[in-house]
Structure 1
Amino acid sequence: MLEEKNSLELLKAVETENLVIKLIEQLNKDFQLANIDEEFKLNISTLALKNNLDSLLLNLITKKYDDYLNLLYRIDVSENEMATIKNDNLLNTIENISFLILKREFQKVLLRKMYS
């Protein structure tokens, strides 16, 4: 179902499935539920979405770590997958976390689509 290895491949699959708006809506919903006052525009390009998510995660990790942890919990990012991320470079780490967030949100959207 999800064979992609990075955020750009994943977002290309989301575009192929015509689920970009649903993915953004799910992201916005989970950010709101995590009490993070950020919202992605529904007409944003997938590359801009990835870049905005990366910069938002950088800000959360460096300035609002508790909010970052709350977001991961709210989105339900796998702890096992988080444990596999190498912490050698902050930007690479953020890109990997961004991928895990997008992957989990896409899973939610796909499951909702399949069972509705």
Structure 2
Amino acid sequence: MNYQIPTNVDNLISQAEEEHLYFKLIEQVNKDFHLANESVDIPLSILPFEFKNRVQDKILHLIQHKFGEYLNLLYIIDVSEAEVKKLDGSDLIKLSEQVAFLVLKREWQKVWFRKYY
């Protein structure tokens, strides 16, 4: 199976569903947010668009109210610092959307590699 880098959140979630790894992705997100002491407690029964929104809302909250914890979360998840620095931070909603994608993309890589390697 060749790893294909998702181009957006919808593409990423579709890949996760196709590979039967959607639940593993949710578990990984819950685990890493918990490790950062910022639990999101996402249920496995969540619909994909709600999952994406829950992660994005949590990230927006962290950016606005707990910036140190936000940076810690990115560090624990191992989101590329270079990719985050490329983002335009002038619109926090848009920024939280883009960071949520980077977070989910990194979590997806972990889940995918664990299955295939």
TM-score under structure 2 length normalisation: 0.92
The residue aligned with 1:23 is 25
Q: 1:38 Cα deviation (Å)?
A: 2.3
Aligned residue type for 1:30: D
Question: Percent identity over the alignment?
Answer: 44
Q: 1:23 Cα deviation (Å)?
A: 0.3
Tell me the distance in 1 between the aligned counterparts of 2:44 and 2:63: 25
1:3-57 deviations in whole A, cap 9, x for unaligned? 3221111111111111110001101110111111321111111110001111111
The residue aligned with 2:84 is 82
The residue aligned with 1:73 is 75
Structure 1 counterpart of 2:39, from 37, 40, 50: 37
Q: Does the CA contact (< 8 Å) of 1:6 and 1:96 recur in 2?
A: no
Q: 1:83 Cα deviation (Å)?
A: 1.6
Aligned residue type for 1:7: V
Tell me the distance in 1 between the aligned counterparts of 2:31 and 2:82: 24
In structure 2, stretches of 5+ residues that fail to align are: none
Count of residue pairs brought into register by the alignment? 115
Q: Does the CA contact (< 8 Å) of 2:6 and 2:12 recur in 1?
A: yes
In structure 1, stretches of 5+ residues that fail to align are: none
Output the aligned Cα RMSD: 1.1
1:75-101 deviations in whole A, cap 9, x for unaligned? 000011112212232111111100000
TM-score under structure 1 length normalisation: 0.93
Aligned residue type for 1:94: S
The residue aligned with 2:106 is 104
